A and B are shown apart, each in its own frame.
Chain A
Amino acid sequence: GAVVSQHPSRVICKSGTSVKIECRSLDFQATTMFWYRQFPKQSLMLMATSNEGSKATYEQGVEKDKFLINHASLTLSTLTVTSAHPEDSSFYICSASAPGSEQYFGPGTRLTVT
């Protein structure tokens, strides 16, 4: 199957700072990328859907000014958590898809805000 990477795999940041997470599709062009958040022992919650070159579509209840998503190319999407707080600590997972294909998931990024 196709490969999707995320960087970093783990990050610890101080409260009030911003942190950027990258999601890359390594061997295919991803027209659509999805960002999920997963709390311990819980399901994946879709945060937003981004199409290359367009503004992301955020799910209800997700603050778009806090979680900035950029999908500038067919192989890269970034999620920036701005002014992070401890309650933003979570496991963030991206997925990528091309037209007619399944979603390929990245390995996830563990964010800890101290």
Chain B
Amino acid sequence: GEDVEQSLFLSVREGDSSVINCTYTDSSSTYLYWYKQEPGAGLQLLTYIFSNMDMKQDQRLTVLLNKKDKHLSLRIADTQTGDSAIYFCADHGSGNTGKLIFGQGTTLQVKP
């Protein structure tokens, strides 16, 4: 089946940029998403990118998509302690079921 992979942990200092990476296997993906999960809470959609885009920027967030390598990244500029959370990338795929395939999640630790 389709798979989404992420590194498990990233630690940065406050004010630095964070880059969270994700790879996926589905060559027919339509949308790719980034979600944020704080402890004990549900998922919050941060941003998404359509598969025919290379880059999308939204305030401090920049998403880069390399469709050839099936690689997605999320860059958070000027990382703050409030950005500490688990970040999931998710692949929508080409079907119309609405199903999402999630990566394992990357825990971002922001040190003051």
Q: In the assembled complex, which residues on chain B have CB atoms less than 8 Å from the CB atom of A104?
A: 45
Q: Does A97 contact B (CB under 8 A)?
A: yes
Q: A49-B97, A97-B98 are in contact. Are A43 and B103 (CB under 8 A)?
A: yes
Contact B98 A105 (CB under 8 A): no
Q: In the assembled complex, which residues on chain A have CB atoms less than 8 Å from the CB atom of B102?
A: 43-44
Contact A34 B98 (CB under 8 A): yes
Size band of the interface chain A makes with B: 20 to 34
Provide the A43-63 mask, 1 if CB < 8 A to any CB of B, else 0.
110100100000000000000
Q: In the assembled complex, which residues on chain B have CB atoms less than 8 Å from the CB atom of A34?
A: 98-100
Closest partner residue, chain A, to B96 (CB atom): A99
Contact A107 B105 (CB under 8 A): no
Other than the known A49-B98, A105-B45, what 14 A-B pairs have Cβ atoms closer than 8 Å? A34-B100, A41-B107, A42-B105, A43-B103, A46-B99, A46-B100, A49-B99, A93-B43, A102-B33, A102-B48, A103-B98, A105-B44, A107-B42, A108-B42
A sample of 19 inter-chain contacts (CB < 8 A) reads A4-B42, A6-B42, A42-B105, A43-B88, A43-B102, A43-B105, A44-B43, A44-B88, A49-B97, A49-B98, A49-B99, A93-B42, A93-B43, A97-B98, A102-B48, A103-B98, A105-B35, A108-B40, A108-B42
Binding site for B on A (CB under 8 A): 1, 4, 6, 32, 34, 41-44, 46, 49, 93, 95, 97, 102-108, 110
